[in-house]
Amino acid sequence: MAKIKGAIVVDIDRCKGCELCIEACPTEVISLSGNVNDKGYHYAYMANPDACTGCTNCAIVCPDGVITVYRKKI
């Protein structure tokens, strides 16, 4: 059976840093950046990209729909 490798893309200009995606991630891939976006929010990013399974939990819980999840078989 093929393994699935995931990756997320966060629209950093629209992310409000609510941290819901961080709590929803079972593999602890996502963290808040130390930098801020144009609106002054710390935004989510992939801190541990190798652990992403592409489960889409982060995108499902995001209230603003700023996370896109990609999957590929490896």
| Residue 20 belongs to domain spanning | 4-73
Q: What tens digit of pLDDT does each residue of 52-65 get?
A: 999 999 999 999 99
Q: Sorting pLDDT into bands at 50, 70 and 90, what band is 19?
A: very high
Residue 71 near residue 52 (C-beta atoms within 8 A): no
Residue 1: the pLDDT is 64
Q: Which helix (H) or strand (E) holds 58?
A: helix 57-61
Residue 74 near residue 5 (C-beta atoms within 8 A): yes
Tally of domains in the chain: 1
Residue 2 near residue 74 (C-beta atoms within 8 A): yes
CATH of the domain at 52: 3.30.70.20
